[in-house]
Structure 1
Amino acid sequence: MLTAGGIIGVLYAWRGGQALLFLLCVVVLLLLGGLILQLFGPRRIKVERTVTPARPVAGDTLRVQVQVSFTSRIPLPWMIIFDDWGSVSHQELLFPGFRRSFSYSYRLNEVPRGVHQLRACRAVWGDLPGWFTGSGKPAGEATFKVSPAPLYFRWSAPEGGVLPDQIRSAKWNRGSNEEAVDIRQYAPGDPLNRIHWKNSARRGVLQSRVPEQERGRMTCVVLDNCAVSYEVPYGALGARGRRGERPSGFEQAVSAATGQLLSAEHNGAYVQLFTGGWPEGLARHEGLGKLPVRVLDMLTEIAPDGGRSLPELLEDAARSWIPGMSVAVITGQLNEDSAKAIARYLVQGIKMDLYYVWDLPAPQRGSAGREKSSTAGSISDSLRRLGATLYCLDGALPVNGHGEVEFHVSAGKPTIW
């Protein structure tokens, strides 16, 4: 504008004329307005944010309530507040005039797990035509944590929580919800007198009654967070345009671990948690009832960057196993080394539940001692024959915080209700 004013001033001094004088006066007035906006514009801009709900889980829609206040000696035609949360951003157009405080809200949809911090906030204001603007960085920070969405399983469903499978079982049993909770899939080693033949005939698979001592069983949860375990196998890659539609394998694993811990908390059962990542190299929790905040924070911040492999985690966890305890192993990809470690404990008579995302063909030894590909079975099939209970997490999505997946007899196809 100064350049335009200088050119018009030179032309007016050289040629004169009413038209050039009028243009020169307009430019001078605009320059004075811009100067006043810069000198007496907004100061001490403060932005306060309140995020609800206070403890969200992954996939929730959050509501951000924003309170803006500032001081200014002149009326402002407009102001824009930019919020940058990294994965998503929001901008709000305000018309202050003589007002000095505003309140508005916006939504963050399907927020992923993790710690979310406001990366940048910027306020921009200007005159009515928008030719002169000013900007500033308002004071105020905002951080919130999003916990993983728990993925519950039939035997670990919290009491009082209605799951889709319980609703379906209630229809079969004419309103008998108790039977749906007291029955689970048959596991190798269950005695014949505990098989529920009537429910087995309805489902098409063997069902067993859950004894009282098994409902409040002690569990050790071993969560594998080694990056190698969550590398997607080539055969499991979907179409390029649809790869972001479902949670990653590691997110499914964390959801499964969260569901087990929260179920133990609700039922007052004893539970152990072993995973890599804390400063001592091993995240560990042992206890009854209420989960410490540090455990939930760890599950919120954990990433697939652990330096300890699954066999190493199992070896560390085995030192604290209690007789009668069941072990829940949660991993991404079943490989031969992990299968050997799990098989060693299965042979020792330890009850193990295996939660995995991807399966691989079981290696087969040839006559010369070389490994060759086998299409007759997979690693999960081999572990199932040794007595492991298998759960495939691929495609298991938490629904309203109460997702459920059922273990299957044949590997590769999860049954989701």
Structure 2
Amino acid sequence: MMGSGVGAWMAGVPVIGVLGALYAWKGGGASLFLLLLALLIGAVGAASQLCGPTRVTVRRTWAPSAPYEGEEIEVTLQISLEGGIPPLWVQVEDDLAGLEQERGRLLFSGFKRNYSGTYRLSGVARGLYTEGSTTVAWGDVFGWFKRVRRLQGRDKLLVQPLPLYIAAWDEMLGGNDGDGGRADMSLKYAPLWGSRLRAYEPGDPVKSIHWKISARRGELITRAPEEVYAWPACLILDTEPASYFVPERGEIFEIAVSAAAAWLQRQSEGTDAYYFRPGLGNNTLQLIGREGLYEGLEVLAQVQLDSERFASLNGARSWNHLVVPGQRITIITGCLTSSLVARLLQMADAGAVLDVWCSGESSDEAVHGSDVEEAGIGNGGAEHWEKSAGHWSAQLSSHGIRMVPLLYDSASVQMKPGRGGRDHGIA
């Protein structure tokens, strides 16, 4: 799209007309000088617009190629101008991450046809950005008569959700505790992640050794015999607003999304397939390895809480159709609700092995009474909810459902460059 600078001419032509009339009426050197100056400015402006470049090409690259949410992005633009006279200056505004995010601004000068510049973006929210545009402008020496071209980009910028850094991983993976720590890994690691792999133990058949994973970890890893034919692990991210009713709804949901990203990354380290379902309104994705991880993160980057209308239409919908007997399913949610607990119990009765991760829980009771009151439930509702939370936890435990509270602390949500995720712990 090319801008013609009509506004400048709408102001310039009347000025030239007034000065011409003034000179014709009064005459004099001063009037002639002003008229000639206005004509000169208009002529230069017309030349910059009519004789400027006829074709503009912009190439955009950025690093890292798939940044995490909040990570600084370095964007490099290469501008090529073809045809006409090279302009005195070129101004570039780049909206790589859309109009709602920060834009990059670059200014070049020097009568050139090729320019290259770099700018940085910070604080870009997770998402898939596909409608970024670039605006290129040039004009006269005063900047009054401009020619503007807007180019629609076809790039696809994926900003991944920041994976949750789980402090307890070091302990689960053995840390520096020697062989005893690694032996304990087989007890703690499998229930949390639903892995089919464990540390090699004397007596395990050689054919059960997973050589690729063993080489990566520096120790022998075998497939658990009783899990060789198990169904792939599955992740369900709860996107119902009722599960995130605390005052920090947005932050709690982002913690859940980060936990889902960590789960996907963990599963992608193996060679087996795994399933991911981002809310009830979407289909279940079957993912494999690193390629599947990128597909899952692309979907996860765009996931949002369901609308109230959609949630009400699907509120009574059962999750039993998602269950395969014996399959390990991880459900990531905010806080326990009566409808969620009912669904979990139905899934457990149908034969699923369930782990429930709650991003809104900071103890055995998901939310304190004061938080519930702030959410609009009221004093009586807060007291009732606190009693119900303990009852729900007991019900889930009696059905063999493991509760994994994500220890939420707003002060600990920060970038961990060495680890690559949000700083949290799993109790």
Normalising by the residue count of structure 1, what TM-score does the alignment of the two structures yield? 0.70
| Number of aligned residue pairs | 353
Equivalent-residue separation in structure 1 for 2:52 and 2:242 (angstroms): 55
- The reply on whether 1:263 has 2:266 as its aligned counterpart is yes
Give deviations 1:301-335, integer Å, cap 9, x for gaps: 333238575874631211xx242x43211122321
Aligned mate of 1:314, from 308, 313, 319:
319
Secondary structure of 1:148's counterpart equals coil
Contact in 2 for aligned 1:72/1:100 (Cα 8 Å): no
Secondary structure of 2:106's counterpart equals strand
Shift of 1:176: 8.2
Q: Which amino acid aligns with 1:315?
A: N
Matching residue of 2:394: 382
Q: Percent identity?
A: 24
Contact in 1 for aligned 2:333/2:359 (Cα 8 Å): yes
Q: Which amino acid aligns with 1:120?
A: S
Aligned mate of 2:243, from 229, 243, 267:
229
Contact in 2 for aligned 1:49/1:66 (Cα 8 Å): yes
Contact in 1 for aligned 2:86/2:113 (Cα 8 Å): no
Contact in 1 for aligned 2:58/2:80 (Cα 8 Å): yes
Q: For structure 1, which runs of at least 5 residues remain unmatched after alignment?
A: 158-162, 189-210, 238-246, 364-369, 409-417
Within 5 A, what are the aligned runs for 1:268-417? 268-269=271-272, 271-276=274-279, 282-286=282-286, 289=289, 292=292, 294-305=295-306, 307=310, 309=314, 312=317, 314-318=319-323, 321-323=324-326, 325-346=327-348, 351-358=353-360, 359=366, 373=384, 375-376=386-387, 378-379=389-390, 381-383=393-395, 385-386=397-398, 387-393=400-406, 394-395=408-409, 397=413, 399=416, 400-403=419-422, 405-408=424-427
Equivalent-residue separation in structure 2 for 1:260 and 1:88 (angstroms): 30
Within 5 A, what are the aligned runs for 1:6-405? 6-84=17-95, 85-86=98-99, 87-97=101-111, 99-138=112-151, 140-151=153-164, 153=166, 169-170=175-176, 173=177, 178=182, 181-182=185-186, 184=188, 213=224, 219-230=233-244, 232-234=245-247, 236=248, 248-269=251-272, 271-276=274-279, 282-286=282-286, 289=289, 292=292, 294-305=295-306, 307=310, 309=314, 312=317, 314-318=319-323, 321-323=324-326, 325-346=327-348, 351-358=353-360, 359=366, 373=384, 375-376=386-387, 378-379=389-390, 381-383=393-395, 385-386=397-398, 387-393=400-406, 394-395=408-409, 397=413, 399=416, 400-403=419-422, 405=424
Equivalent-residue separation in structure 1 for 2:107 and 2:246 (angstroms): 47
Equivalent-residue separation in structure 1 for 2:288 and 2:133 (angstroms): 41
Give deviations 1:203-258, integer Å, cap 9, x for gaps: xxxxxxxx98499985332222234433x324x57xxxxxxxxx633332232223
Q: 1:255 to 1:335 in 2, by over 3 A?
A: same
Secondary structure of 2:319's counterpart equals helix
Q: Which amino acid aligns with 1:184?
A: K
Q: 1:233 to 1:267 in 2, by over 3 A?
A: same
* Higher alpha-carbon deviation: 342-351 or 128-137: 342-351
Equivalent-residue separation in structure 2 for 1:68 and 1:13 (angstroms): 47
Name the one with the larger helix percent.
2
Equivalent-residue separation in structure 2 for 1:264 and 1:227 (angstroms): 27
Q: For structure 2, which runs of at least 5 residues remain unmatched after alignment?
A: 1-11, 193-221, 361-365, 373-380
Q: Which amino acid aligns with 1:301?
A: Q
Shift of 1:166: 7.7
Contact in 1 for aligned 2:268/2:288 (Cα 8 Å): yes
Q: 1:403 to 1:390 in 2, by over 3 A?
A: farther
Matching residue of 2:213: none
Normalising by the residue count of structure 2, what TM-score does the alignment of the two structures yield? 0.69
Q: Which amino acid aligns with 2:319?
A: L
Equivalent-residue separation in structure 2 for 1:339 and 1:20 (angstroms): 86
Shift of 1:262: 2.3
